[in-house]
Each structure stands twice: as structure tokens, then as C-alpha cells.
């Protein structure tokens, strides 16, 4: 994750290979070209213009997190519940602060606010600068799913600690990185796993990147903008 923060957006893992690692998750694309949502075995690209298209296997990613979603527990939520309320409800059902939890919230949203970042050109800017040109969309009365993860604090630097959620609508026409929402009603499924496998980018840019330093505050800023 710190590599993204400093502007290393060069994709190295193809989506053909990524599909072999899971059917549920999120990420981004080579050159930071939009937001990725993996849901029910299909992979989707949400570009800055708001369009949603299927991801071909030849595309590559510099950062993605996926899992084979295997439901461990479910519960229902009656709204309106905002994003903080959803996270608080999930917190009450998570079994540990040290295991990863995949989070799937399927429901009807009165509003959902998402963002996507446009494709960047070399020399790539830091992520904090790239998000200054992000596109933000607020959708109303939409059925869809929040897709993402809660990750432990100790993965800071290689992942996003806490919650990282993307959205995809049921009709696959809307999506993006979630900034906020109001859930009217929905069902939550959690998949908790003690296993974490990481594949580092096999690129010259990553090999020479300076990943020293603490970028915790920078990460919080770009994730919540």
C-alpha cells in the first residue's frame, strides 16, 4: 500500500492470475485507472467517468486484495444506518482484532457516495496528489453491495488497516471506492480468515522504491477523501 502512496502504479499481476486467488475483493489497475470490485466471481473496473466494465484477464494490477468468500456468519441491519454505523455493527460481530475479515453488505441504499481516480500519466504523482482529480458520485435509492475487508493494524504499510470498502450496484452500472452511505436495509456476511498470502510487484519501480517512513496519516487522508 505504501508503494501506491508514493506513486508506484505499475501493474505486475494479471487479472487472469488474480482470478486464481479469489472471487471477492477490491483493488486498482495499472496507472491507477479506476477502482476494481471483485464480486460473485466477476471482476469490474469503475473508471473516473463512472462507467463500469468487465475486466479482461490481460489487464494488470499494482494492488489488489481478494479472497474466496466463505460465509462464517450473517446478520441483518435495518436503517437508516450510515457507514460508521455499519462498521460499528460489523465490529460487534468480528471475532478478533488479529484476523482478517472479508465484509459483504448486500442491501438497499438511500444514498451511497463513491469515488474513482482517473488514469495517471508518467511520471506518476503521489496518491495524495492523484486523488485531487478524483470523480465523486452520489447515487440514490440503489440496490447493491459493499465489498471489502477489515484488516488488522499490523498490516499497515502493506494493506489498509481497518475498513476498506468498494461498492457495486446490482445492475453493474454504478460503483467505486466508498466514501459514505446510508443503508435503508440489508444483510451482512463476514468471512474471517487466519491466512494471508502476499505477492510483491515484480517491477523495477517497486524494486527501487523507497518505502521507509510512516505513512499512516497520509493513508487515512487519501482513503477518506
Quick: pLDDT tens for 33-60.
999 999 999 999 999 999 999 999 999 9
Q: pLDDT category, 220, cuts 50, 70, 90?
A: confident
Domain boundaries, position 102: 2-224
Number of domains within the chain: 1
Quick: pLDDT tens for 166-203.
999 999 999 999 999 999 999 999 999 999 999 999 99
Is the per-residue pLDDT at 80 higher than 90? yes
Percentage above 70 pLDDT, the chain: 100
Q: What is the CATH number of the domain that holds 128?
A: 3.30.1330.80
**With b meaning 16 or more CB within 10 Å and e meaning fewer, what string describes 40-59?**
eeebbbbbbebebeebeeeb
User: What is the rounded distance in angstroms from the CA atom of residue 168 to the CA atom of residue 92?
Assistant: 25
Is the per-residue pLDDT at 139 higher than 90? yes
**With b meaning 16 or more CB within 10 Å and e meaning fewer, what string describes 109-148?**
bbbbbbbbbbebeeebbebbebbeebbebebeebebbbbb
pLDDT of amino acid 148: 99
Mean pLDDT computed over every residue of the chain: 97
Is the per-residue pLDDT at 223 higher than 90? no
Is the per-residue pLDDT at 118 higher than 90? yes
Report the predicted TM-score, pTM, of the whole model to 2 decimal places.
Answer: 0.96
Report the SS3 class of residue 125.
Answer: coil
Amino acid at each position: 500500500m505504501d508503494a501506491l502512496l508514493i506513486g508506484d502504479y505499475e501493474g505486475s499481476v494479471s487479472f487472469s492470475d488474480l482470478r486464481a486467488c479469489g472471487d471477492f475483493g477490491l483493488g486498482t489497475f495499472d496507472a491507477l485507472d479506476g477502482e476494481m470490485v471483485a464480486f460473485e466471481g466477476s471482476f469490474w473496473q469503475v473508471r473516473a467517468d463512472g462507467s463500469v466494465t468487465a475486466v479482461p484477464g490481460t489487464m494488470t494490477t499494482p494492488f489488489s486484495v481478494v479472497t474466496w468468500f466463505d460465509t462464517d456468519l450473517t446478520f441483518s441491519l435495518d436503517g437508516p444506518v450510515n457507514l460508521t454505523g455499519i462498521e460499528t455493527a460489523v465490529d460487534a460481530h468480528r471475532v478478533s482484532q488479529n484476523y482478517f475479515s472479508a465484509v459483504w453488505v448486500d442491501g438497499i441504499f438511500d444514498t451511497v457516495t463513491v469515488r474513482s481516480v482517473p488514469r495517471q500519466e508518467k511520471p506518476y504523482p503521489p496518491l495524495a496528489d492523484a486523488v485531487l482529480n478524483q470523480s465523486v458520485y452520489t447515487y440514490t435509492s440503489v440496490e447493491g453491495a459493499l465489498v471489502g475487508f477489515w484488516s488488522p493494524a499490523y498490516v499497515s504499510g502493506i494493506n489498509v488497516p481497518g475498513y476498506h470498502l468498494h461498492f457495486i450496484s446490482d445492475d453493474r452500472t454504478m460503483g467505486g471506492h466508498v466514501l459514505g452511505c446510508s443503508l435503508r436495509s440489508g444483510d451482512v456476511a463476514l468471512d474471517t480468515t487466519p491466512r494471508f498470502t502476499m505477492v510483491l510487484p515484480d517491477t523495477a519501480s517497486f524494486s527501487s522504491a523507497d518505502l521507509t517512513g510512516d505513512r499512516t496519516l497520509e493513508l487515512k487522508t487519501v482513503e477518506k477523501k
